[in-house]
Structure 1
Amino acid sequence: MTMIKDVCVHLDGTAEDDGRLDHGAMIADLFGAHLVGVYTNKIGVMMFPATDFGGASAEILTEMIADSRRAGDGVEKRLRARCATLPTPMDFRRIDEADYLLGWAVANLARSTDLFVMSRPWGPGKAKRWPDLVESALFDGGRAVYLVPPESKTARMPKTILVGWRDSREATRVLTEALPFLKRASSVILAMVDEHGAPDRFKDVPAAGIVRHLDRHGVKAELRRVSGWTHASDGLLNEARLCGADLLVMGGYGHSRFREWIMGGNSRAILTECTLPVLMAH
């Protein structure tokens, strides 16, 4: 049976650390899990021509790295003081790496945890919050991510959970990862947003089967057909508002290639607009 015993929380020294820490502590307390804060300190580097690498260039690069580490020391001190105020004991890890190596380090950590708490990677306009790290944890780490919206001020145990269900590998995978939450919820709703393509007779059979499967796990789920929406993401977000969901569960559709995150339009929209936490797995 899926259990949550290790939870990592991404920290970066910004104001959004508070929201991620509160959600991470809530989850760790809920499941009696081990909590680890992971501070990623991006080391500034510059590219120099091969013929120029030496002498003054090497000194500049060395000083840039030293400056990044010194700045990270101050952030780490503040973060450790903040972590000490949490009701849940937590370990602290720091990663000092250049941008292109941070993703590898985070994916490596994700493989030895059950859940990685991070920020929703996009926002209105060009707002971004470490999308490359979310990509690495989700696609390369192989575990679930719990994405906190910037609007979140108070973490609370999810009582009403909305699952974006479709007959796919990704949806099945995230449903398994979400089972610990689903078992503790008061209301679980499986929302199927009608999409063009497959005949109705092929949509209903797997959906009925997954409801029976959840029932055998002790989860009473309500199946809802959501119609009338051009984009599935709009239908899911509207359904989340209607049912007062505390958590949205959905598969992460897309793939990672050459450090570019190619996401399906619905996943990208959810991770730009959703104002409640999203549990996602690929």
Structure 2
Amino acid sequence: MNKWSILAERLVKHRIFNALIFSLILLSAVVIGIETYAGLAEKYRTILVFLDRLIIFFFVTEIVIKLIARGNKPWKYFSDPWNVFDFIIVAVCLVPAGDTHFFAVLRILRVLRILRLITVFPKLRLIIGALLKSIPSMGYVIMLIGLLFYVYAIVGVFALGQADPLHFGDLHHAMVTLFKVLTLEGWTDIMNIHILGPVSEGNQQIVSLWPFLYFSSFILIGAMIIMNLFIGVIMNSMEESQKELAKELKGIKHKEKNTDELYREIIEKLDDLNKEIRNMKMSQQK
């Protein structure tokens, strides 16, 4: 590595540099937030455009410095998925503004710069990594939920469709209704249509209990058991991610320790070599 690469690597690892990038991400979030207010955006348009370009400039500079820090192998920068994530976000921000709808949509994607906070905080990276790792396992849980929805929707259409065609008139309406029930939003109103009879003298009597069993069993299985399965899968993935992170940190410390030992050995050998050179000079003088 040349001196520029060494200097760039030290700069990237410096606390002030990381604090500056973090501050720029927060500033970017504030700028984009202000732009959602038409009055403020028009009033401070010049300042906001200047800050936007300044933030993009620093983000591009950050990537260039990190590439330089890789020395003769700049492509190693892209070996880290989080670096690729940063690079894509910055590349999207560099798309020029235009009058077409396509470019307008890409410019709106500037809000993705806020997601760079994920790469700043290791804990956030751990959570996102755990979520990504849990996707394969969650696929089976989603399949189980799909089967549950399908079975209960069919039962609902045949058993409740005639009395309540709005919610259980056909399969897709029944599945949408069950999704609303699973969120626990207004599910009692839907259930009351089927368990309560007509109003008589200002009172309503329960005429059937089996709809209660239908809705309550769906909520217990769907909202309680299967949702806990989701949580369990994610927690398991987080534990695995924490173990991997601890292993990586241990490896890094071990490498640093080996580097220190190697440095000491080199210094000792140089000292021994200097002593031998001095002894040789002294013997020649004699």
Query: TM-score band, normalised by the shorter chain?
Result: under 0.3
Instruction: Select the structure that is richer in strand.
Output: 1
Structure number with larger C-alpha Rg: 2
The structure that is helix-richer by fraction is 2
TM-score by length of 2: 0.27
